[in-house]
């Protein structure tokens, strides 16, 4: 009986260990949710915005925000047309870097001002404020997900932030803006934009992870955190 009970106990122990391993991804996501909304800033997302706004009072943050805005304008010229009213852009880079170093407020400024200045410097048609709203919203999402992000959570947060932006900003909002601008049906643009974003998603994620890794290795983040 003792041997049998010992076997049962070992089996239960192994089953418990397997269950813990299976639940591990969910536990990690829950930990990320807690660190972003509750524990990390002892006040949640609203305090995160307050902390990010306060950081802009520092000269280094103001200078970096201005530099990232200028970089946005420069990178705006780098565009590869893929389909009808669809192009590949890398302006997400300065927005994501600003979000990681200085938080959502800085990233929203870089996205919004960068979009406006780019349209002024390199006009390619009538200015439409909807795309500025999309750029500001993208900065907010990057900032909420990446600001003061622990090294162990960088990859998963980059994927989550990029997925949210692809689904809600790039595919839904920007497609809506195009349909309004050119007075065509929403689904006329939808198919090409879905394909484009699916193709670019892994490349953009890799670029963001690489850049954040470089910032950490060079110690630049210590000047802001």
Which of 8-17, 114-123, 190-199 shows the lowest per-residue confidence on average (mean pLDDT)? 8-17
In whole angstroms, what is the distance from residue 134 CA to residue 59 CA? Answer: 27
Question: Dihedrals φ, ψ of 103, to 5°?
Answer: 95, -175
Q: What band does 196 get if pLDDT is binned at 50, 70 and 90?
A: confident
pLDDT confidence of residue 125: 76
pLDDT confidence of residue 26: 53
pLDDT confidence of residue 205: 96
* Residue whose entry in the numeric block shows the structure tokens 């990233």: 107
Mean pLDDT on 217-222: 88
Helical residues (DSSP H) of the chain, grouped into ranges: 2-34, 44-55, 59-76, 92-102, 104-121, 129-146, 154-164, 174-182, 186-218
Q: Say if residues 171 and 193 touch (Cβ distance below 8 Å).
A: yes
Structural domains in the chain? 27-223 (1.10.1760.20)
Report the chain's mean pLDDT, rounded to a whole number: 81
Question: Dihedrals φ, ψ of 183, to 5°?
Answer: 55, 50
Q: What would the pLDDT profile of 28-86 be if each residue is shown by its tens digit?
A: 555 554 554 444 444 578 888 988 999 888 999 999 999 999 999 999 988 766 554 55
Mean pLDDT on 95-115: 96
Q: Say if residues 104 and 212 touch (Cβ distance below 8 Å).
A: no
Q: Say if residues 32 and 153 touch (Cβ distance below 8 Å).
A: yes
Evaluate if residue 19 carries a pLDDT over 60.
no
Question: pTM (2 decimals)?
Answer: 0.78
Which of 2-6, 106-110, 184-188 shows the lowest per-residue confidence on average (mean pLDDT)? 2-6
Q: Say if residues 56 and 102 touch (Cβ distance below 8 Å).
A: yes
Q: What would the pLDDT profile of 128-164 be if each residue is shown by its tens digit?
A: 999 999 999 999 999 999 998 888 999 999 999 999 9
Using DSSP's 3-state secondary structure scheme, residue 70 falls into helix
């Amino acid at each position: 009986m003792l041997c049998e009970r010992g076997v049962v106990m070992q089996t239960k122990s192994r089953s418990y260990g397997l269950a813990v391993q299976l639940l591990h991804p969910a536990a990690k996501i829950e930990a990320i949710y807690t660190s972003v909304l509750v524990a990390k800033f002892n006040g949640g997302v609203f305090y995160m915005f307050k902390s990010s706004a306060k950081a802009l009072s520092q000269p280094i943050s103001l200078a970096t925000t201005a530099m990232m805005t200028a970089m946005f304008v420069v990178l705006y010229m780098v565009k590869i047309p893929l389909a009808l009213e669809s192009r590949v852009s890398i302006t997400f880079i300065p927005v994501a870097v600003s979000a990681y170093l200085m938080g959502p407020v800085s990233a929203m400024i870089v996205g919004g001002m960068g979009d406006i200045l780019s349209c002024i410097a390199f006009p390619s048609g009538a200015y439409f404020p909807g795309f500025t709203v999309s750029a500001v919203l993208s900065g907010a999402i990057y900032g909420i997900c990446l600001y003061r992000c622990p090294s162990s959570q960088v990859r998963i947060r980059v994927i989550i932030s990029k997925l949210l932006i692809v689904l809600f900003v790039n595919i839904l909002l920007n497609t809506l803006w195009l349909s309004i601008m050119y007075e065509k049906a929403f689904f006329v643009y939808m198919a090409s934009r879905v394909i484009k974003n699916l193709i670019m998603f892994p490349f953009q994620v890799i670029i963001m992870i690489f850049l954040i890794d470089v910032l950490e290795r060079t110690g630049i983040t210590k000047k802001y955190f």
